A and B are shown apart, each in its own frame.
Chain A
Amino acid sequence: MNFFKIIFFLGLPAMFVFSCKKDEPKPPVDPDHPDLVYDPTPYQLAAPAYFPLLEMPADNPMTEEGILLGRMLFYDPILSGDSTLSCAGCHKQEYAFSDENQFSTGIDGLMGDRQAMPVMNIAWVSDLFWDGRAEGVEAQALGPVENPIEMHETWPNAMEKLKRHPEYPSLFFYAFGTWDITKEHAAKAIAQFERTLISADTRFDKKFYLLDPNPFLLTDEEIEGHFIFNTEKGDCFHCHGGSLLTDNLFHNNGLDANSADEGLGKVTGKTTDRGKFKTPSLRNIALTGPYMHDGRFATLEEVVDFYSDSLQFSETIDPLMKNVHQGGIRLTAQEKSNLIAFLHTFTDTAFVHRKEFSNPF
């Protein structure tokens, strides 16, 4: 082929491209799949106005297509070594995307030593895991697949399985405009789906943020519990306050005199961080037991007994555990049950039943 012919053949399609540019830019079309068009629909996260201002990563804009792909990957055991366990195997919607077991079991029958955390309102979490070791939702999503006690797969293997799958390649194309399936794209899609898991439809929200005038919205016991929670009597609000019911900071709440799990201390290497863990959000708390990083408490009764009477002093116990010198906040049986009643107003029944969050298969 001579030089002019090359120019001609290159020039012909180029002319089309240029003439196209004159009007609306057309989405790229893949020559091997001319019937598929990359034209994702932007998705606006619907967050309550009273939630903290949201910082979204600039390199992972949410789209309908990305969320759909993420939802499928979240529920599909294909990402695990023997194709039996998905994210949802440990993060179950009925328990606000947490695990009802003290320790979750991975595909090899192995268990970790941390309780599976609920995945909700995750768009507002920047340091993930109990000890904050993962920075960002995308970074976290890469972890479980290769974790030997969880899904125990390699990403290259998982990618191969996705590439051979009849549907995933086109779903990746719709979401990211490329046939080159990467683990980064998989993590981005999962993160997009996780960010949609917003829980804010509770009696607590109606009463205290939406100012619903219905006088019967909360019982007298629940209102009493609210006073305990939001005054120094119970003093829960200093860590579990605000609309997210967490400060998203790290504290030692006095579980142990000598914490076996170093928590944040392991991550920062500081002895002054020993035994500190991320304050869990108390949203849906009635659904997310067992409680604490090691799932040591089966019920909310046990949790409240602990805060009332069994705090353990250590050098790193948080100053906000104001009454550690007397064992805790010392509640009466009635006060304890009022506080627990209030904790139940954080339950979002719609969240655990929403179709858009459920298994798509």
Chain B
Amino acid sequence: MKTFKIMAVAMFALSMFAFLGCDDEKQPGFVTVYLDHDVAGEALEFDNIKYTSKAGHPFSVARLKYYVSNVTLLEADGTAFEIKDVHYRDAAEASTRSFSATNVPSGKYEKISFIYGLDETVNVDGGLPNTQTNINMEWPIPGDQGYHYMKLEGKYDSLGMGVIKNFNLHTGATMGNQNYIKISLPLSAFSVDGNTWGIYLEMDINEWLENPNTWDFEEFGPMIMMNQNAQEVLKANGSTVFKIDKVEKE
């Protein structure tokens, strides 16, 4: 009995060594990125004209679909690790909320960067797999190519006559302009070392309509796919729509 106890203790000690030994070698980690949405801090609820834009229009959101791509973690010395090449998010489909990388090299990451939309290497006809979802995001306008980066659609009260109208913030490449947005957000105290992390990104939909440019639904009208001025405005506003809500060990 005694020998057995000794052996058990010895085994335990050995396994601890093995464990620490592994730890020294720095284990890759598991990182999940979540994409959530709100409107000026209020939870996103579809089909309800309950939000107000900076231009003063009460509005609702019916749909929010978009791509993020080249989602990358960056260390201070520029070492980069790509978590995901292209991710499609439909705010109404929980299954599209997150994506993960299982083999993130250990290290201290200072930034997460990504493209809102698709860059010119992917944004070509047939650049994405031929799924019904990707086909539904196609941008078939003759002369242009690729995919919608975003479909943000809903209704607004046009004021004055009390008429409810539709709005469609569709972004993409048009008239030879790529129009995708590069976004980079700082991470603090984010060290990957054999552990599991969740990075929660939150889009404030109102930011599309107010910062730095005030978007008036009436001004550009519901059809902006071939209107580069409108695309420029949204491109500028889009760079601040995301913030990091939280970074958590899971």
A-side residues, CB < 8 A to B, are 49-53, 124, 226-227, 230-232, 235, 237, 241-244, 247-249, 272, 313, 315-325
Contacts and interface: CB of A to CB of B under 8 A. Distances in A.
B78 interface: no
Given A322-B223, A323-B222, 10 more contacts: A49-B130, A52-B132, A226-B142, A231-B141, A232-B226, A242-B136, A244-B135, A247-B136, A313-B164, A319-B63
A53 B130 contact: yes
A346 B225 CA distance: 25
A124 B132 contact: yes
Contact of A241 (B130, B140, B142): B140
Contacts of B168: 319-320, 322
A35 to B, nearest CB: 46
B129 interface: yes
Interface centre among B153, B154, B155, B222 (most CB of A within 10 A): B222
A320 B226 CA distance: 16
B17 interface: no
Contacts of A248: 132
19 contacts: A49-B130, A52-B131, A226-B142, A230-B141, A231-B141, A231-B226, A232-B225, A235-B223, A237-B140, A241-B135, A241-B136, A244-B135, A247-B132, A248-B132, A319-B63, A319-B155, A320-B166, A325-B158, A325-B165
A4 B167 CA distance: 85
A280 to B, nearest CB: 15
B204 interface: no
Given A230-B142, A232-B225, A243 B155 contact: no
A320 B138 CA distance: 15
Interface in B133-154: 135-136, 138, 140-142, 153-154
A78 B216 CA distance: 63
A323 B165 CA distance: 8
A227 B140 CA distance: 10
Contacts of B140: 230, 237, 241
A124 B63 CA distance: 23
Interface residues of B, number: 29
B232 interface: no
Contacts of A322: 166, 168, 222-223
Interface in B150-194: 153-155, 158, 163-168
Label chain B's interface by main secondary structure: loop
A51 B222 contact: no
B138 to A, nearest CB: 6
B142 A227 contact: yes
- Listed from nearest, the 3 A-B pairs whose CB atoms lie closest are A319-B153, A322-B222, A242-B135
Contacts of A315: 47
A209 B130 CA distance: 13
Nearest to A321: B166
Contacts of A227: 142
Contacts, number: 75
A231 B142 contact: yes
Contacts of A124: 132
A283 to B, nearest CB: 14
A230 B145 CA distance: 12
Contacts of A313: 164
A243 B142 contact: no
B12 interface: no
A227 B142 CA distance: 7
A249 B136 contact: yes
Contacts of B167: 319
B198 to A, nearest CB: 30
Contact of B62 (A52, A235, A319, A323): A319
| Most A-side CB within 10 Å, residue of B130, B153, B163 | B130
Contact of A320 (B47, B126, B130, B153): B153
Interface string B45-63: 0110000000000000011
A53 B136 CA distance: 13
Nearest to B153: A319
Contact of B138 (A49, A226, A232, A242): A242
A245 to B, nearest CB: 11
Q: Identify the interface centre among A50, A248, A320: most chain B CB within 10 Å of its CB.
A: A320
A217 B26 CA distance: 63
Contacts of B46: 272
Contacts of B136: 241-242, 247, 249
Contact of A53 (B129, B163, B165, B222): B129
A174 B106 CA distance: 58
A272 B92 CA distance: 13
B225 A319 contact: no
A52 B129 CA distance: 9
B166 A319 contact: yes
A243 B130 CA distance: 10
